[in-house]
Structure 1
Amino acid sequence: MFTIGDFARLGLVSVRMLRHYDAIGLLRPAHVDPVTGYRSYQAEQLSRLHRIVAIKDLGFTLEQVSAILDEKVSAEELHGMVRLRRAQLEARISADLARLRSVEARLRTIETEGRMGAAEVLLKQVPPVRVAQLAARAADYESEAIGPVIKPLFGEIHRRVAAAGLPVTGPGIAYYLPEEDGAVLAHACLPIAAPPPAGDPGFEVVVLPGIETAASLVHQGSMDVVSSSFQVLAHWIEEHGYRWLGLAREISLHCPDDPAAWVTELQIEVAPEA
């Protein structure tokens, strides 16, 4: 037998918590001294205590924990629940890190306001181009929503184009179309010289229309911080008497493993103000 204090130390919980578990019938002591009221526990009860703590940490209430334990959840089932919870926590951490990067990018944009030059913005004509493309929905235009969608799309379109035996004739192109519900349809495109062979290649072949006048800027670095470059373009468009016609493209000129070394051309279709 172990005193409640010793049992709490062995189970890595507090004495207060053990008393609470006793009060609600979740983990009764093996023995209670009728004179002193001191609680004593047996070593075999540690197994139930570990299950209680593990299931509670999955996000269940103590009432739900009791119900689960009464149904005799096996160690294998409990391991599965723990793995699921771990995956959920990892996804939450990843989302929080992406949100943090987005906040940092916004802060850098704010810090550089008034110091951003516009000499690198050029006007150019963009010819039409035949592309193989895949599309998928993102929740919105925020980088933490776009990134997890567009990056896998490019990996998949590269794989499918290679499987179709088609040579890629230029850098990847990304563009985004708004959906009625506020979501965004992200497109990952690869220029190809010829249409695919007969049959379903697993991607769509379209001709992206030419742009008569595009305001173009080369963005250096991760796309998580692209907002500052779009701000440069917005200022340039406004200050030089143009209006944005709504079509924007991202041309991946250089994409090494390190996103900080990426080089991306931003193109926005513009026209002179009437």
Structure 2
Amino acid sequence: MFKIGEFSKLTQVSIRMLRYYDETGLLKPAQIGQFTGYRLYSVEQIHTLHKIIFLRDTGFNVSEIAVALSNWDNTFITKQLKNKRQEIESIINREQQRLAKIDIAINDIMEEKISMNYNVSLKSIPSYQVLSLRKIIPNYFSEGMLWEELFNFIKEENIDIPKNSSDFAIYHDVEYKDADVDVEVCVVVNRMGESKKGFTFRETEKVETMACAMVYGPFENIGPAYETFAHWLMQHNQYKMTGQNRQICHRGPWNEKEPDKYLTEIQIPVEK
């Protein structure tokens, strides 16, 4: 048996960490001296300690390490490592997105473009006959899969769509959400048909007053457009927001190769 100081030297792990592993239950001393109260460790525990350090250094937390140690076999550990790899890859992807945003912000500051201004106009939106698909989707970036489903259905059912038909998305949540968003995508049709398979023919609501702004460039520019709406509402405090926001992508990935040439219309219903 080795005292904690001796075990620390032999394993190159600090006494502080050995005490921490004791407190968390990951590596209890093999014995506690009956009269001295010293923590005593066995040579067999070195292998367990190496497992703990390996898992810690690959991103496992205390509870995950405890589960791994109690279920240690090649199949289980391989599965846990693959899961951890996917988790780390997701974190790296999020951090890379943050780095990209920082780079964009730096460039914008250098070019004095950090403050974008959008013109807000008011117009009346009529009721439309539409074919729509409404679902809860993981996030706003997943909207594309709804459009793909809708246009595949239109093609399969040979549905009559007007030339240069309008299409738009309606956001039914009363607040911005990070996940599980309620989105409806709509395409204007010449005539109503039979609703089926989750695809619905309906008439959209007429909106007497819609505040609209055209957003040029990549979808990242949409966020600042909403800030413009906030300033506009402060300056025109006779209006308040009501109903569901809409979004029309006039030019996007399907008909424009360069993101700088995208054109998105943001629509927010307002009333006095």
TM class, shorter-length: 0.5 to 0.7
Mean Cα displacement is larger for which, 231-240 or 101-110?
Answer: 101-110
Counterpart code for 1:175? I
1:49-128 superposed matches below 5 A: 52=52, 55-56=55-56, 57-61=58-62, 65=65, 68-69=68-69, 71=71, 73-97=72-96, 112-113=114-115, 116=117, 118=119, 121-128=120-127
Decide whether aligned partners of structure 1 residues 94 and 244 sit closer, same or farther in structure 2, where only a CA change above 3 A counts: farther
The TM-score normalised by the length of structure 2 is 0.61
Give the 3-state SS of the residue equivalent to 1:213 in structure 2.
strand
Match of 1:185 in 2: 182
Task: State which of 237, 247, 257 in structure 2 corresponds to 1:250.
Answer: 247
Match of 1:135 in 2: 135
Pairing 1:148–2:146 present: no
Decide whether aligned partners of structure 1 residues 117 and 195 sit closer, same or farther in structure 2, where only a CA change above 3 A counts: closer
Q: Provide the C-alpha distance between the structure 1 equivalents of 2:96 and 2:166, rounded to a whole number of angstroms.
A: 29
The number of aligned residues is 232
2:131–2:199 Cα contact (<8 Å) kept: no
Decide whether aligned partners of structure 1 residues 192 and 75 sit closer, same or farther in structure 2, where only a CA change above 3 A counts: farther
Q: In structure 2, list runs of 5 or more residues that go unmatched.
A: 1-10, 28-42
Deviation at residue 210 of structure 1 after TM alignment:
2.2
Supply the RMSD in Å over aligned alpha carbons. 4.7
Decide whether aligned partners of structure 1 residues 117 and 266 sit closer, same or farther in structure 2, where only a CA change above 3 A counts: closer
Q: Provide the C-alpha distance between the structure 2 equivalents of 1:216 and 1:179, rounded to a whole number of angstroms.
A: 18
The TM-score normalised by the length of structure 1 is 0.61
Give the 3-state SS of the residue equivalent to 1:76 in structure 2.
helix
Counterpart code for 2:227? Q
Decide whether aligned partners of structure 1 residues 174 and 102 sit closer, same or farther in structure 2, where only a CA change above 3 A counts: farther
Counterpart code for 2:218? S
Q: In structure 1, list runs of 5 or more residues that go unmatched.
A: 1-13, 27-39, 139-145
Decide whether aligned partners of structure 1 residues 67 and 225 sit closer, same or farther in structure 2, where only a CA change above 3 A counts: closer
Match of 1:174 in 2: 169
Give the 3-state SS of the residue equivalent to 1:193 in structure 2.
coil
1:133–1:206 Cα contact (<8 Å) kept: no
1:206-221 superposed matches below 5 A: 206-221=202-217
Give the 3-state SS of the residue equivalent to 1:128 in structure 2.
coil
Give the 3-state SS of the residue equivalent to 1:153 in structure 2.
helix
Deviation at residue 84 of structure 1 after TM alignment:
1.3
Match of 2:34 in 1: none
Match of 2:39 in 1: none
Deviation at residue 238 of structure 1 after TM alignment:
5.0
2:252–2:263 Cα contact (<8 Å) kept: yes
Match of 2:267 in 1: 267
Deviation at residue 160 of structure 1 after TM alignment:
3.6
Q: Provide the C-alpha distance between the structure 2 equivalents of 1:88 and 1:215, rounded to a whole number of angstroms.
A: 41
